[in-house]
Structure 1
Amino acid sequence: MRRSVGGNFAWTLSAGLVYALAQWGVLVACARLGTMELLGEFALGLAITAPVMLLARMNLRTLQATDAQSAYGFEHYLGLMVLNVLGGVLLCCAIGWVAGYSARASLVIALLALAKGFEALSEVFYGALQKVERMGLIARSIIAKSALSIVLVVLALLITRSAAAAAAALGLAWAVVLFLFDTHAYRRVFGGKRPWGLLWRTPWRAQGVRLKSLLGLAYALGITALLSSLRPNVPRYMLEAHFGQAELGMFAALAYFTALGGRVVHALGQAVSPRLGRYHTAGDQRRYGRALAGFTGGAALVGIGAIAGAVLLGRWALTLFYGADYAQNLELFVWLMVAAALEYVCVSLQFGLTAARELKAQALMLTASVVVVALGSAWWVPSVGTVGAAWALALGWLVELGASAWLSVRAWRRLGLQEVGTAPHGSGAQATPGADAAP
C-alpha cells in the first residue's frame, strides 16, 4: 500500500530532526563535559572517517529505493555493503596510522569508523523499507538510535571524559538498533524473511556477475558521496593543520547547526525520491518536473530561514548551547548559514539527478566543487581563519549549484523528448530526429 508523501515526509522529518539533535547533543556534551581539545579530537575523527565511510556506503540506499524495476535483490545490496564496510574500516585505521596521529586519536578514528559501519548496514534495511514507502518504521529506528546514542555517549563522557569512550558508546548504540530493531522490521514487512540468512544462503559465486554489475552502477554514487563529504571536511583539515584542534572544535560546533536544516531537506528528499524514480522510469516529464521544482523551492525556503535565524538569533543561540566563547564568532556563524542555504538547494537537485540516473555527471560536478573548496581553503584559511573556511564552502556550493541546475534541466528535457518519440501513431506527435543524442 502506497503511503502519502505528506505522511512519509512527516515521519522522515521527525526522525531526521531527532537524529540531528542527538548528534548535535553529542557535540554539546563533548563541549560541556570535556574540553575544546576533546571536542576537536572527536571532530577530527569524524572528519577522517566521514569521507571514507560515505564512499563505502555508495549512497546505495537511494539507488535501492529508486530501483523501480527491482533489478537487484536485497541480498545484493546487503552483500555489497558488508564488503564495503569491512574495507572502509580497515582504510580508516590505515589513515590514522599513516598520518602519524597519536595512539589516542587513532583509536577514536577506528571506533568511529566501526560505528559508521553499523550505520551503513542499517541503510540497506532503510532502502528496502523506503522502496515500499514504510517510512514510519525507518523513523522509529532512527529515533531509537538517536535516543540510545545520546544516553550512552553522555554516560561514557561522565564516567571517563574520553573521546574514545564516546565513540565506542556511539557504535554500541547503532549496533543494538541494527541487530534488534532493523532486522525485526525487515522480517515484519517482507513476510518473515531472515535478512542475514539471505546473505549467508546466497550462492555468491553464481551471483558474482550481478554483484559486479551493482558495483559498476553504484561506484559513481560512492565517488559522489566521497566528494560530498570531502567538501565540508577539507577546510577542517586546513584549520587543524594551521590552528590546532581547539579551533577545529569551535568550527565544527558552529557548523553543526547547518545539519538541522539539512535534515529537513533530506527528509523531504527521502519521501519524494521513490516517486521521482517512478516518474522518471515512466517517462512522465510533467510529474517529474513538478515534483523536483516543488522540492527545490522548499529547500530554498529552508536556506533563507537559516540565514535569517543566524542573523537575528545567532548570538543568543550560541551562548545558550555552547557558551560565551563560542558566541564571539557570529560572523562565522552567518557565513556558515549562507553556505548551508546553497547546500540545501544543491541537495534537492541531487535527489532528482539520482532518480534520473545522472550518476557520472554528478561525480564530475562534485570534483570541480571540491577543487574549488580546496583552493579557496588554501588561499583564505591561513590568512582569514575560520571565516575563510566558510567562504571556501560557499564558493564550492555555488559552483555545484550552477552545474546541477544545468544537469537537472537537461534530464527534464530528455524526458520530454522521450514522450514525443514514443507518442502513438495518429496522436499528431512526431518523433524528433536525433532525440537520443539531444542534450
Structure 2
Amino acid sequence: MILDGPAASTATPTSTATATGRPGTVAGRSGGLHRSRHAVAGQISWSLLGILVASLAQWVVIVVLARYGNPAMVGQYALGLAVAAPVLLVASLALRTVQVTDARSRFGFDDYLRLRVLGMVAATVVIAVIAAFVGSGGALVVVLVGVAKALDGVGDIYLGLFQRHGRMRSISLSMILNGVATVLAVTTLLLITGSVAWAVLGSVAGSALGAIGYCVITARPLRRGAGPVPDDDTRAPDGRRGAVGRLASLAALALPLGIASGLASFTINLPRYLVGHELGTAALGIFAAIGYVVLAANAIFAAVAQTMLPRMSNLYADGQVTALTRLVNRLVLATLGIGALVVGAAAMLGRPALDLVYGAEYARHASVLTLLTVVAALSGAVFVVGTALSALHRFGNQFTASVATLLLTVVAAYVLIPRYGLDGAAWTVVLTVAGDGTLKALMLRRALKGRPWT
C-alpha cells in the first residue's frame, strides 16, 4: 500500500520539506532528528490505524453479504466495484499524488477540489451509462457503488490537504468513521430488506458521512490558510491565473498518471469481468470474496505508500539517489519476505479459514486463496516501486507499464479462465502483477541512473 522515517542525516542544512510534506528546516542536531522520528512514528501509527479499520470494515461488508445474502449478491457488489473503479480512477487523475508531491504549491487546494468534483460527476454519468448494459438485476447496484466511490473520491482531496499539513489523525478518523458507518448501515439495511441494492445504499450513506461531512468540517481551518503550506497559492506553471487555465494546466499534468491508474484498475479487474461473463455472477461472488485478501493488502500498501511518498520525493529532490535506492530495495525485500510467510500460512490454513468465514461453498476453492496471497505479496513490492516512480514524477513511465500489463492480462485471461475456471482467474492475476512489477522495476532502475525510458 513500507516504513517512513526522518530526513536523511546527509541532507544539507537548508530549507526543505519534512516527511509530512510541510516546509521546514533540517535539524543538524540529533535532538531534532529524534523529535522527527517520534513525529513520523505517530503519523504512521494513525495512518495504519485508519487503513486497518477501513480494510476491516470493507471485509465485514463482504462477509455480511456472503453470510446473510448469497454468492450472487456478493457478485453484484463485486461487479459494481469492478465497473466503477477504472472509470473513477481515470476521472480522479491521481490528483492526490500530484497534490502531495506539489512541493512548490503551484496549484491551490481549490484547484484540486474543483477538478476532482468535475471528474467525479463525469465518472458517475459514465458509470450510469455502463450500468444500463448490465441488466436490471445489477444496474442499480453498479450505480450506487459508483456514487459511494465518487463521494470517497471527493473526500480523497481533503485527505491530501490533511496529509500536506501532517494531519494523519484527521485522515485516520475520516476513514474510521466512513468504515464503521458503512458496516452499520449495510448490515442494518440488508437484514431489514434482504436487498443488496438497499444494502449498498448504506455504503453511500457511510461515504457521505465520513468522506464528505467529516472532511469538510475538519478542513475549514486549513482552507483559511491556518497552516504552513500555502494551499491557496493560485500560481500555475505556465503563468495563467484564471481558474480555467489553472484547471487545464493541472489536468494536463495529472492526465498520464490518471490514465495509468485507470488502466491498472481495468487490468486487475479484467479477470472479474471474464469470470462473470464465462462462469456467472455466483462464481464472481466467490472469486471476489476470496480475493478480498488482495484488496485488503492493496489498501494497506496504498496507505503506507502515501505516507512514504513525501519522504521519497524529498530524497530525490535533495539529490540523494543512493539513499532512495537503498530505501526502495529494503522495502521491496521486506515486503516479499513477509508475503512469503503469508503465502505459506494460506496454503496450510486456507480451506478451514474459508469454511469458517464464508462457508463450505467458498472453502472448495482454497487453491484460489493461496494464489491470491501470492498476488498480495507481489503487490506490496509493486506499490513500493510505483511510489518511487511517482516521487520521481515519472508518470508517463507508469502509463507505459499499464498498457503493456493490460495486453499481458488480456491474453492470459482469455486463455486461462475458460479452461481452468477460478484457478485460471487467479493465475491471470498472478501473471499480471508479476509482469507489472518487473516492468516498473526496470523503469525505476533506468530513472534512478538518470536515463529516460525509450
TM-score (norm: length of structure 2)? 0.86
Which residue does 1:48 correspond to in 2? 83
After TM superposition, list the pairs within 5 Å mapping 1:54-133 onto structure 2: 54-97=89-132, 100-133=133-166
For the 8 Å contact 2:156–2:211, the answer to whether it is kept is no
Which residue does 2:70 correspond to in 1? 35
Q: CA deviation at 1:300?
A: 1.9
Q: CA deviation at 1:192?
A: 6.8
Structure 2 unaligned regions, length at least 5: 1-35
- Cα offsets for 1:148-175 (capped at 9, x unmatched): 1100010110111112112211011111
**Percent of counterpart pairs with the same letter?**
31
Name the amino acid aligned to 1:319: D
Name the amino acid aligned to 1:300: L
Secondary structure of the corresponding residue to residue 97 of structure 2: helix
Between 177-186 and 68-77, the greater mean CA deviation after superposition: 177-186
Aligned equivalents of 1:210, 1:154: Cα separation in 2:
43
Q: Which residue, 435, 440, 443 being the options, matches 1:407?
A: 443
For the 8 Å contact 2:151–2:212, the answer to whether it is kept is no
Aligned equivalents of 1:65, 1:93: Cα separation in 2:
31
Q: Which residue, 299, 307, 311 being the options, matches 1:275?
A: 311
For the 8 Å contact 2:54–2:175, the answer to whether it is kept is yes
Q: CA deviation at 1:24?
A: 0.9
Between 100-109 and 135-144, the greater mean CA deviation after superposition: 100-109
For the 8 Å contact 1:9–1:267, the answer to whether it is kept is no
Structure 1 unaligned regions, length at least 5: 415-435
Q: CA deviation at 1:4?
A: 3.5
After TM superposition, list the pairs within 5 Å mapping 1:229-248 onto structure 2: 229-248=265-284
Name the amino acid aligned to 2:270: V
Name the amino acid aligned to 1:357: H
Aligned equivalents of 2:439, 2:98: Cα separation in 1:
21
After TM superposition, list the pairs within 5 Å mapping 1:8-407 onto structure 2: 8-97=43-132, 100-191=133-224, 206-407=242-443
Name the amino acid aligned to 1:124: I
Aligned equivalents of 1:191, 1:209: Cα separation in 2:
23
Aligned equivalents of 1:78, 1:190: Cα separation in 2:
11
Aligned equivalents of 2:297, 2:77: Cα separation in 1:
23
- Cα offsets for 1:292-321 (capped at 9, x unmatched): 233323322332232122112212221111
Q: CA deviation at 1:288?
A: 2.2
Aligned equivalents of 2:88, 2:404: Cα separation in 1:
21
Aligned equivalents of 1:101, 1:231: Cα separation in 2:
19
What root-mean-square deviation, in Å, do the aligned CA atoms of Structure 1 and Structure 2 show?
2.3
For the 8 Å contact 1:66–1:278, the answer to whether it is kept is no
Q: CA deviation at 1:363?
A: 0.7
Which residue does 2:28 correspond to in 1? none
Name the amino acid aligned to 1:102: G
Q: CA deviation at 1:261?
A: 2.7
Name the amino acid aligned to 1:14: L
Aligned equivalents of 1:358, 1:43: Cα separation in 2:
32
Aligned equivalents of 1:413, 1:41: Cα separation in 2:
46
Which residue does 2:32 correspond to in 1? none
Distance 1:322 1:50, change over 3 A: same
TM-score (norm: length of structure 1)? 0.88
| Greater helix fraction, Structure 1 or Structure 2 | 1
Distance 1:8 1:321, change over 3 A: same
Name the amino acid aligned to 1:255: G
Q: CA deviation at 1:3?
A: 6.9
